[in-house]
Structure 1
Amino acid sequence: MTEHAHTAAADKGLPTPTRLGIVMHGITGRMGMNQHLIRSIAAIRADGGVVMPDGSRVMPDPILVGRNAEKLATLAAEHNIERWSTDLEGALANPDDTVFFDAGTTLMRLSLLEKAINAGKHVYCEKPIADDMDEALKIARLAREKGVKNGVVQDKLYLPGLRKLKRLIDAGYFGKILSVRGEFGYWVFEGDWMPAQRPSWNYRTADGGGIILDMLCHWRYVLDNLFGDVKSVSCLGATHIPTRWDENGKPYDATADDAAYATFELEGGAIAHINSSWAVRPRRDDLVTFQVDGTEASAVAGLTECWTQHRANTPKPVWNPDVPQTIDFYDTWAKVPDNEVYPNGFRAQWEDFIRHIVADTPWKFDLMEGVKGVQLAQLGLQSWKERRWLDVPAVSA
């Protein structure tokens, strides 16, 4: 247990928490640093640890691992973390650190997870867990064979907007759900006159880039867990921006898809269509929105908010192209109230996973769930290539 961990608990008048050593890899990147390190692990430490079902607390004690010693040292100092290293093998060999986490690039993930699992570590990672379903299955099965607990980040399910939407679904608010319409994305600058908001590898197929591989992994767990298991998929991809500029200001060929237009048939009969694009300028409520239409009501959920419209409050528009529209369609929806406090979604899932590790609480989002995401992405790419619908078979454990 580090001195900072003792101090954080003592300052809040809390008993000394139990230590949990975590090897954290890939935290110098945007997602790993902001969501997993700063807003999750560092925030948990500052609040005195994770509360267990029996009221005790567990304090994560991370060691930051990567290739850039200067970045690691700076991050560690800024967030009161005592340990960092460029020696991954050495970190995995330490029996006092029992969990391995990875938020690095997709192409590195399989080998890192394999090393950690063979070292006896519980593993937690970003998605996709691989770029090939067969390889993803191998790593999920290896974790099961070795008896290590494992998890994959499924952050969208923890978003306040989608949690409110789930509350409506569980209450039977929609009647029979007919369709789901998703819009995701924003304009990622090319990098010539304005710096790009995403790393250049995202736009090179050889480096594991592409929006289909990235986002269909998300849409699989969102659709499966909220609306019904995905039965089939039709997907069209595109590379709308063929040339981009990298972190050094040099132009490169964008070989990966930067947009995907996918339709899904769901168990129960609902149809879902989700547009994903890094070449779109949004005019909607949020960077991602899901509209759900049912026989009794509809709803639109964004990252944090959710709006509803019941059949009794549905306006009756009349098509007349000769006069301006008289209905303010935004004004006819009601906002779902914030009846509870929603923590950062990445942090909330981290806390759930830590409870699973320490107290063996129930946990659904294991690596086999990550396999399903890779499967749908792979089928999406195949559908684009072959220009046809494809069934989504059950994944065998």
Structure 2
Amino acid sequence: MDADDFEQIRKAVRQLVREEVIPREEEIDLDDRIPEELRGAIADMGLFGYALPEEYGGLGVNMKEDVELAFEFGYTTPAFRSLFGTNNGIAGQVIAKFGSEEQKQRYLPRLAAGELIGSFALTEAEAGSDPAGLRTTARRDGDGWVISGSKRYITNAPLADLFVVFARSDPEERGGRGISSFVVDAKAPGVSLGAKDKKMGQSGAWTSEVFFDEVRVPADALVGEEGRGYSKALTVLSRGRLHIAAMCVGMAQRVLDESVAYAATAKQGGAPIGRFQLVQALIADMHTELVAGRALVRDVAARYDSGEDTSVGPSAAKLFCSEMVGRATDRAVQVHGGLGYLRTTPVERFYRDARLYRLYEGTSEVQRVIIGGGLLRAAGMPRS
């Protein structure tokens, strides 16, 4: 994309976030939903497909551009980005990268337009980061497949029009082998949802359990090669981790801005609390880690686009930035004092929202395993 064109998009996103979303953050938090008019604005800007290929109706941003937009998305409630995040990320990317031409033509233009919401159904109650526990099955039946099982903590499930489902198609295989991926219509007979989850934070971003009871899908529902589904999941999760890292940077910038503005004006003993050196220290630590996180994300994004590093770098960025934003929101509450503990204060909401970043799309512990294992294998250590 031309640099000037991208800058116009970034500025438009910033304007939307700061003029239309931020004023409604408390409403979104209390109502646990994104207002319909905001969904329309998101669609009008092309954000449902900003990371999908241009030839299928998307904006076609690369990873360097993706993270710059995510810095803007992260400045407000995560529910804003969550509405269109799965279309661009872990669900849409499976189809864009591995789908047949027919699948791309069928789904991507409608995902990019916001006519469809896609949802990524990998996690199960007994299978999070370790695929060995995957219990959902896909068995051949005539010229199609029958999928049975359940998925847990599935983002946008209550809104989904389609699911990208990962199921074990070869019961003789273990671990990541023998897992295939399928596109499943959310209205297909046998698909049902659990109750919408009541979460600690990120209100307005919906998740729920999804059940597949003998769901029949045609042969062309299979995405890519049979038995290679888990490698597809890892590929799109790696991109998603870098995107999440950038979201964390955006949130850290927001709580820093809130803290600086508060410390410069709130008074104790007749003087702004910002004159107290220990308050300055909290702000200095927030700023320093934020600058480091932003630089890390930009560096990793450049190496992702070049193909130099598509695994260890994204995990390192996700690990550092998700931990960093947790510290930033904690310090922001501390700067605000008692006011920071009240539900009407933005930093209180971000404190709750930030906690999920260390859990989804791979916990901090999983990122450490990926980083350490990747470096050691690169040094010649054999796989177990």
TM-score range relative to shorter protein: under 0.3
> Comparing both structures, which one devotes a greater share of its residues to helix?
2
Q: Which has the higher contact order (CA 8 A, sep 6+)?
A: 1
> Which has more radius of gyration?
1
Greater strand fraction, Structure 1 or Structure 2: 1
